[in-house]
């Protein structure tokens, strides 16, 4: 009997630490993340199976929201081969960060990255992360090359990108407004080592990124990026870190009382015009209409409560409003 109990105990423990495949690199569309800092600093250097990460001293600094769209003609001209564009919007700020990506079969690559102050274009040699799904111990290395622009200088770059599913275990995070998190996760580590060239001058960018994927729903529940940028001739020697903790997603939330009480689409189903009934004191700053894959179809940056959707095909869509207090999303049916 003791042997049976020991076996069952060990089996249950192993199940608790089991890893799951990472099916997609990107987050679920319209996921919102708290921009966070931690005191003491987080230690993410340990890799392997059955790890417990206690990120329980996080403090929220702001909010980012992920949205996806098909590339525009201008995007394709600048980043050839792009099939999808991730836009990360920070609440209250005009700047947006973008990842331009290419998916061919199971292969997923970066074609470009743009953020405040720097743009990387992998036009010469795209950055292949790997073939998804990826599972624990899977790894991929690829050579990259292209051009860059920044506030300090512009030029070309070469280097490598290495992607590894390097760990799995249990992640614990404190409450940042949507409840504490404790769950089993699988981690993806992405390392880029780039050599920058501007005429006869050289610089480097070494970036390490970690993505923690929930084993139950596959969403990214925590992500961090640390970049060390050295450009001696321009006087640049900076370390930049961004950490984000998952807050919520309208596609995976069964009920959101704030949305139910303050934000309605009238009528629903919709024939030609989406009319938004919004009874909160905050002003609507922008409206987006997206398909169920999170691809933005219509963007209205005016403080309007009506959007013409007569050109849309019949089907299910999402309307997202940006206000000074955050982002609200509702589904509607187009007749």
Torsion angle of C-alpha atoms 19, 21, 27, 30, degrees rounded to 10: -90
Tell me which residue has tokens 């940042």: 176
Tell me the HSE value of 319 on the side-chain side, using a 13 A CA sphere.
30
Tokens linked to 62: 């702001």
Sign of the dihedral through C-alpha 138, 144, 149, 150: positive
Q: What is the mean pLDDT of the chain?
A: 85
> Distance of CA 85 to CAs 42, 79, 88, 211, 266, Å?
30, 10, 10, 18, 30
Identify whether the C-beta of residue 22 lies closer than 8 Å to the C-beta of residue 217: no
pTM: 0.73
- Taking only the tens place, the pLDDT of each residue in 203-214 is 999 999 999 999
- For the segment 59-66, the average pLDDT, to the nearest whole number, is 92
- The CA distance from 124 to 111, in Å, is 9
Identify whether the C-beta of residue 81 lies closer than 8 Å to the C-beta of residue 111: yes
- The CA distance from 184 to 188, in Å, is 14
Collapsing DSSP to helix, strand or coil, 66 comes out as: strand
- The CA distance from 96 to 114, in Å, is 8
- Taking only the tens place, the pLDDT of each residue in 33-44 is 999 999 999 999
- Taking only the tens place, the pLDDT of each residue in 293-305 is 667 788 887 767 8
- Taking only the tens place, the pLDDT of each residue in 149-172 is 988 789 999 999 999 999 999 999
> Distance of CA 321 to CAs 32, 61, 93, 253, 300, Å?
13, 21, 15, 17, 10
Tokens linked to 280: 């909160």
Task: Using pLDDT thresholds of 50, 70 and 90, give the confidence band for residue 128.
Answer: very high
- Taking only the tens place, the pLDDT of each residue in 209-249 is 999 999 988 889 999 999 998 988 778 888 999 999 998 76
Sort 294 into a burial class: Cβ within 10 Å, 0-12 / 13-18 / 19+. Answer: buried
């Amino acid at each position: 009997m003791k042997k049976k109990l020991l076996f069952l105990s060990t089996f249950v423990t192993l199940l608790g630490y089991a890893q799951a495949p990472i099916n997609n690199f990107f987050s679920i569309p319209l996921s919102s993340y708290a921009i966070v800092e931690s005191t003491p600093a987080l230690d993410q250097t340990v890799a392997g199976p059955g790890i417990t990460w206690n990120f329980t001293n996080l403090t929220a600094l702001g909010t980012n929201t992920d949205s996806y769209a098909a590339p525009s003609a201008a995007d394709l001209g600048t980043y050839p081969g792009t099939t999808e564009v991730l836009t990360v919007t920070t609440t209250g700020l005009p700047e947006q960060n973008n990842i331009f990506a290419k998916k061919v079969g199971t292969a997923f690559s970066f074609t470009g990255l743009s953020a405040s102050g720097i743009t990387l274009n992998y036009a010469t040699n795209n950055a292949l992360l790997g073939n998804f799904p990826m599972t624990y111990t899977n790894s991929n290395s690829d050579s990259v090359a292209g051009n860059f622009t920044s506030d300090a200088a512009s030029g070309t770059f070469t280097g490598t990108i290495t992607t590894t599913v390097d760990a799995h275990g249990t992640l614990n995070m404190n409450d940042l407004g949507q409840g504490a998190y404790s769950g089993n996760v699988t981690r993806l580590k992405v390392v880029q080592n780039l050599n920058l060239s501007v005429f006869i001058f050289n610089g480097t960018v070494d970036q390490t990124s970690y993505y923690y994927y929930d084993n139950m729903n596959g969403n990214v529940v925590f992500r961090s990026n640390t970049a060390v940028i050295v450009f001696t001739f321009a006087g640049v020697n900076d370390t930049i870190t961004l950490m984000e903790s998952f807050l919520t997603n309208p596609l995976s939330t069964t009920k959101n009382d704030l949305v139910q009480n303050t934000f309605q689409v009238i009528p629903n189903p919709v024939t030609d015009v989406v009319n938004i009934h919004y009874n909160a004191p905050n002003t609507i700053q922008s409206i987006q209409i997206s398909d169920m894959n999170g691809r933005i179809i219509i963007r209205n940056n005016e403080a309007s409560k009506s959007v013409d959707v007569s050109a849309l095909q019949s089907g299910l869509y999402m309307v997202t409003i940006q206000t000074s207090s955050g982002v609200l999303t509702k589904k509607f049916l187009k007749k």
